[in-house]
């Protein structure tokens, strides 16, 4: 038998079910992406792909006497001490040329206060665009008037090191597990470092300050520099490959990583320049104060409210069935209907007698007589009349 309004209700239920399924699937995929690190940018310590640095981060965390952490806030809030190494992996070409000057200046000030600062660059794949952005000959008059981009790159101006482009490294040998690759050679023989390391970048460094020392070079050009800076030290590498998950898998060099971190008790992975920043919003507050259960309860209440307003709780009427008429009743008839529903006929007299005793409080003889009459067997109406006559005679 087909019911009225059945189809709209079914459609609402199906729509709600589909929405919940799609929402749950989307959240599951999002959490899965965060768990495996796909949503994080290259060179992030959260990223587990080949171009991430999660393997290095997790490996360092396994050392009990080493404190390893991530920093998402501004550089000015990062801890600075002689026991800390800050790794800034994957500095992009845009950051080197046109990046935030204040952020880089704050990082340098950390080194001045005793921090060991490690800066590694990304492969320079945006050479034409970046050269045009920093070359005054390539800029139009309108661009010169509307923008105030510095002609000299930010990194070059603050660190006194220029990034130069060279030919692509040519393969020279094979390690048996990976493709053939070029190598950079050790220049600073006094350092406890491997004689050569794999090199894949297309650029080299050109120091403009004599305080920089070349540690590794490729084809006679510096690619890894170091210098003392205040109480600390800055290490600049023209490529970030040696810190990536791929390098940990294909051609890892623990001795080089040990030298890179130095004799420090704390390692901090700087993430802000990669776009992984801490934004104190509603979601941050929920995670900070463990309000996940409260949010789940609110969602359940909202779902119940929507369900209550969209689905009728009374049974639907069958098609063609006339609705029952609602009869109006007086106060006395309503009370009579209520009593007839809740009391069986055999108990009516006893209930009436009990209520009479509570309200009238008769004497003992009258009460015993009425109680005796209420227990007699026979017609209830006749017995009730006898009781009423006895009460009138005694009153």
Place of tokens 């170091």: 226
In Å, how far are 129, 162, 203, 316 from 313, measured between CA atoms?
66, 75, 72, 9
CATH number of the domain encompassing residue 233? 3.40.50
* 147 or 46, higher pLDDT: 46
How does residue 92 score in pLDDT terms, banded at 50, 70 and 90?
confident
From first CA to last CA, the distance across the chain in angstroms is: 64
* Tens of pLDDT, residues 238-297: 999 999 999 998 888 999 999 999 888 999 999 998 888 766 666 667 766 777 788 888
Quick check: is 85 in a domain? yes
Q: Of 134-143, 185-194, 198-207, 221-230, which range is least confident?
A: 134-143
What total of structural domains would you count in the chain? 2
Place of tokens 């048996």: 176
Quick check: is 185 in a domain? yes
Quick check: is 63 in a domain? yes
d(C-alpha 205, C-alpha 128), whole Å: 18
| pLDDT of res. 191 | 75
User: Domain check: are 361 and 243 in the same one?
Assistant: no
How does residue 127 score in pLDDT terms, banded at 50, 70 and 90?
low
CB atoms within 10 A of CB 122: 23
Quick check: is 306 in a domain? no
| pLDDT of res. 179 | 36
pLDDT at residue 323 is higher than 90? no
What's the predicted TM-score (pTM) here? Answer: 0.60
Q: Which of 236, 257, 278 is where one domain is finished? A: 278
* Tens of pLDDT, residues 146-168: 455 446 788 888 999 988 877 55
Instruction: Determine the 3-state secondary structure of 229 from DSSP.
Output: strand
* 15 or 115, higher pLDDT: 115
How large is the average pLDDT for residues 321-339? 67
Residue 297: is it exposed, middle or buried by C-beta count within 10 angstroms (0-12/13-18/19+)? Answer: exposed
SS3 letters across 306-348? HHHHHCCCCCCCECCCCCCCCCCCCHHHHHHHHHHHHCCHHHH
User: Domain check: are 94 and 206 in the same one?
Assistant: yes
Domain range for residue 387?
331-394
Q: Is the dihedral of CA 237, 239, 244, 246 positive or negative?
A: negative
Rg of the chain taking only CA atoms, in angstroms: 42
User: Domain check: are 269 and 360 in the same one?
Assistant: no
User: Domain check: are 263 and 375 in the same one?
Assistant: no
- Chain-wide mean pLDDT for the chain? 77
Quick check: is 289 in a domain? no
Instruction: Determine the 3-state secondary structure of 10 from DSSP.
Output: helix
- CA neighbor of 110 nearest in space, from 73, 137, 64, 56: 73
Q: Provide, rounded to the nearest whole percent, the portion of the chain with pLDDT above 90.
A: 25
User: Domain check: are 158 and 236 in the same one?
Assistant: yes
Quick check: is 241 in a domain? yes
* Tens of pLDDT, residues 208-227: 988 999 999 888 889 999 99
* 93 or 35, higher pLDDT: 93
pLDDT at residue 319 is higher than 80? no
């Amino acid at each position: 038998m087909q019911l009225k309004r059945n189809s709209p209700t079914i459609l609402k239920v199906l729509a709600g079910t589909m929405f919940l399924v799609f929402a749950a699937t989307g959240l599951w995929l999002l959490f899965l992406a965060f768990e495996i690190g796909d949503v994080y940018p290259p060179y992030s310590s959260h990223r587990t792909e080949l171009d991430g640095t999660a393997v290095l981060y997790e490996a360092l965390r396994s050392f009990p006497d080493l404190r390893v952490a991530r920093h998402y806030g501004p550089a000015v809030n990062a801890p600075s001490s002689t026991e800390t190494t800050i790794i800034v992996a994957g500095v992009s070409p845009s950051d080197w040329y046109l990046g935030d000057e204040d952020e880089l200046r704050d990082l340098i000030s950390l080194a001045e206060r005793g921090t060991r600062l490690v800066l590694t660059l990304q492969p320079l794949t945006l050479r034409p665009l970046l050269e045009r952005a920093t070359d005054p000959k390539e800029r139009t008059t309108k661009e010169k008037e509307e923008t105030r981009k510095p002609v000299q790159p930010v990194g070059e101006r603050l660190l006194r090191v220029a990034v130069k482009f060279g030919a692509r490294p040519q393969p020279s040998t094979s390690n048996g597990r990976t493709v053939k690759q070029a190598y950079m050679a050790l220049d600073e023989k006094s350092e406890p470092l491997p004689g050569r390391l794999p090199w894949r970048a297309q650029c080299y460094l050109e120091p403009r300050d004599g305080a920089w020392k070349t540690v590794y070079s490729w084809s006679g050009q510096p690619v890894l520099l170091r210098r003392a800076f205040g109480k600390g030290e800055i290490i600049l590498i023209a490529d970030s490959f040696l810190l990536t998950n791929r390098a940990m898998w294909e051609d890892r060099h623990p001795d080089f990583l040990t030298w890179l971190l130095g004799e420090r008790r704390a390692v901090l992975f700087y993430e802000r320049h990669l776009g992984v920043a801490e934004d104190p919003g509603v979601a941050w507050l929920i995670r900070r104060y463990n309000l996940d259960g409260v949010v789940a309860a609110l969602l359940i209440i909202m779902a119940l409210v929507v369900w209550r307003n969209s689905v009728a709780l009374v049974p639907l009427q069958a098609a063609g069935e006339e609705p029952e008429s609602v009869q109006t009743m007086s106060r006395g008839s309503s009370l009579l209907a209520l009593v007839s529903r809740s009391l069986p006929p055999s108990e009516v007299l006893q209930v009436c007698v009990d209520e009479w005793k509570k309200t009238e409080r008769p004497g003992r003889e009258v009460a015993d007589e009425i109680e005796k009459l209420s227990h007699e067997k026979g017609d209830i109406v006749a017995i009730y009349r006898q009781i009423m006559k006895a009460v009138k005679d005694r009153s």
